[in-house]
Amino acid sequence: MASRIRRWIETDTGHRVPNHKSKCRHFHGHRYRWEAELEGDIVDIEGVSDQGMLMDFSDISSILTEQIHDIVDHAFIVYEKDSEGIRAFEVMGDSHNTLIVPFIPTAENLAKWAFEQVAPNIRSAYCNSLQLYAFHVRETPKSWASWYREE
């Protein structure tokens, strides 16, 4: 039977949903929580560093920091077809941290994007069937979206 663990990081990130019917069409930001959920067998090799674990939490944190935090923290995520948004950030020049993406940056789409960023980096040297099971994105304390590994 497989076990699951979760590790998360937080970022301060801006976005907008340009065609939204309500206030989300305006530029705004969130304190996002980016949460990876891993699945696999507990390492049972005697004497190795990860014995009794799926993967060391600090190793997961390093991946999340490199693949998510360092890309979107204090950045503004803009949909590539949001011409007004792109023009607004072009005025600020290269000094502004803008990430242009091929999707509308909703929590649902960001969960899928984060899954795709992180999944290739989840590896184990212990043959314990380790893989990214899901990625959860909290946009507000009351609002979450998740993307699950396809079977």
Domain map (residue ranges) of the chain: 3-148
Write down the pLDDT at residue 124.
Answer: 86
In SS3 terms, the chain reads as: CCEEEEEEEEEEEEECCCCCCCHHHCCEEEEEEEEEEEEECCCCCCCCCCCCCCCCHHHHHHHHHHHHHHHHCCEEEEECCCHHHHHHHHCCCCCCCEEEECCCCCHHHHHHHHHHHHHHHCCCCCCCCCEEEEEEEEEECCEEEEEECCC
Write down the pLDDT at residue 93.
Answer: 84
Write down the pLDDT at residue 125.
Answer: 81
Write down the pLDDT at residue 73.
Answer: 98
Mean pLDDT by 10 residues, the chain (151 residues): 92 96 94 97 92 94 98 98 93 91 98 98 88 97 95 73
Write down the pLDDT at residue 136.
Answer: 98
Tell me how far apart the alpha carbons of residues 12 and 29 are, in angstroms, rounded to a whole number.
7
Write down the pLDDT at residue 111.
Answer: 98
What is the reported pTM? 0.94
Report which of 63, 14, 74 is spatially closest to residue 36, judged by C-alpha positions: 63
Write down the pLDDT at residue 5.
Answer: 97
CATH of 3-148, one of 3.40.50.620, 3.30.479.10, 3.30.70.2190, 3.40.190.180: 3.30.479.10
Write down the pLDDT at residue 2.
Answer: 86
Residue type, 92: M
Write down the pLDDT at residue 1.
Answer: 58
Q: Answer for the pair 49, 32: CB distance below 8 angstroms, yes or no.
A: no
Write down the pLDDT at residue 41.
Answer: 93
